[in-house]
Structure 1
């Protein structure tokens, strides 16, 4: 049991003398159990932008940790950072190549145990900042207000064109023209009882 860990000595004595042995240390090693792999990510991880921390936990004594990606030892990568005696793996930033299954193995001199696989949820969500949302709302309100103003302007312009007074109207004279008049009596024979009068005689 774990409480048996400690330093032991043996003492021998009789009526004449006594003697104590050299101390002996005893360490009880508990088996590895309860290995679990967790992530601090709560949603989508955007490749090239977001970072993630994977943590491997286990029960037992003198536990060491190792990591695997898709069943193979974790490759050397400047984006991979092992922390806290290799119990934590920080990936900064994540990339599309990190879409495989991660596992961790906890070991000691008694046994080893591997966690269940963990797969990163990669993808970029379209989150808008409050400022961007406010800008979109203001632009939408402006467009909504501009539509009726545009309609009113078009209607006013149309009514103005319809009520304008035409200039220099032209009328066609379709009535019969008055006969030519003359200011002299033309000598010669005329019809009895008919007299011509006027102001001028056309010359041909």
Structure 2
């Protein structure tokens, strides 16, 4: 306090003491004002109590701001132009600064008939507004499931007093993986995985203002189990188009295709669909044969798989589905007709065979069977001697009746030679050796031939 203020206050105090004959009774003084203010606003301190005709002194942190008595006002040099004391019971400080924070005190000394003294104190704090809140990821890397830990750091350019964290708009869940450090300015997450993905908001506040900012945390998965599928599985040159589908069990973000290890050639027949997950080839031919590789990647990992595409020439016997169906139906009908035809032929053959069995069988003359009647067919003789066919003797047949029909026979000469069957047109004469011992085995050599007559 400069010497001028000191001398003035001393003079006023001595004047009060002389007029009142000493210190008066105590005066009840109260200061009313918000306890927290923002920089740039006005500090308005009001005294509750009668301060007319009194010496009033305002101080902050024991530094005098202003002293006034009725219309006489003395302002400290540091507050000139900022203090408004037009009313004795009010102090206004414009454009408050953080340095204006502190303990404010007002002292009152009255010089009227109710002389007395009084004082009151008031704590005031001035805050900067919260501005420019930022949240950064430390270290600034692509976080994967293999990252041991990640830190989210929050700060404000001005006004930062209290720091509060939210995940997706809600308070952080109780989880041992979350740790708050540095007065809650830093949120540490240990062993992150995809369940920690989300929007993390840092709220910075003080008693007079607040602000916030948000950062998105994305924990990347490792790319695993890449597969490539072909549709249709078999491709011919007349196939309209073929599609190669690529997918990954986890971590798939970017899909890139290679043919035989090189980027796909510029060709209108190649079309990439579904975020490059599908490679479509229109009107494929053998020039498109080769190994197609799908590379699946993200910022932290990559993997791939390969499939071989073979475009086959159109088969010569290739038929449409309708033609194949027609062939099948025709084959079945043809088979049925063939079976019916075979059955018909078998029936006809059996019928013809039955008719033939009812007719006599004419045997051609052979050495063993030189024509003529079989001895089993002889039933009887007529107009001649009747002989048994089994009788081992030469015999003459005139008229022979066959079982099946009547035959007109010519003349038969019985040869006397034994075991002769080679005389055509005659009934054979047989002399079997096993019958030589029978009584009738000797036949007279003077047998005369007989002539057969028609029956």
Alignment of 1:24-63 (within 5 A): 24-42=215-233, 44-61=234-251, 63=253
Q: Deviations over 1:100-143 (max 9, x none)?
A: 1111111111122111x21123323434332355568889999x
Cα 1:94–1:132 change in 2 (3 A) is: farther
Contact 2:199 2:216 in 1 (8 A): yes
**Does the CA contact (< 8 Å) of 1:50 and 1:94 recur in 2?**
yes
- Residues 9 and 92 of structure 1, relative CA distance in 2, 3 Å threshold: same
Report the equivalent of 2:298.
Answer: 108
- C-alpha distance in structure 1 between counterparts of 2:212 and 2:308, whole Å: 55
Q: 2-side partners of 1:61 and 1:33: how far apart?
A: 7
Cα RMSD of the aligned pairs, angstroms, is: 3.3
8 Å contact from structure 2 (residues 203, 213) kept in 1: no
1:90 maps to 280
Aligned counterpart, 1:4 = 196
Aligned residues: 146
**Ranges in structure 1 where 5+ consecutive residues have no aligned partner:** 146-204
TM-score, normalising length: structure 2: 0.28
* 1:69 has 2:256 as partner: no
Structure 1 match to 2:309: 120
CA distance in 1, matches of 2:269, 2:204: 61
Matched, 1:78 2:273: no
1:78 Cα offset (Å)? 1.7
Q: What's the secondary structure of 1:3's corresponding residue?
A: helix
Correspondence 1:3-22 to 2 at 5 A: 3-12=195-204, 16=207, 19-22=210-213
> Contact 2:227–2:247 (CA<8 Å) still a contact in 1?
yes
Moved over 6 A (4+): 135-142
Q: Distance in 2 between matches of 1:140 and 1:46?
A: 33
Question: For residues 326 and 257 of structure 2, what CA distance do their matches in structure 1 show?
Answer: 42
Going from structure 1 to structure 2, the CA distance change for 1:137 and 1:76 (only over 3 Å counts) comes to farther
Q: How does 1:154-193 map to 2 (within 5 A)?
A: none
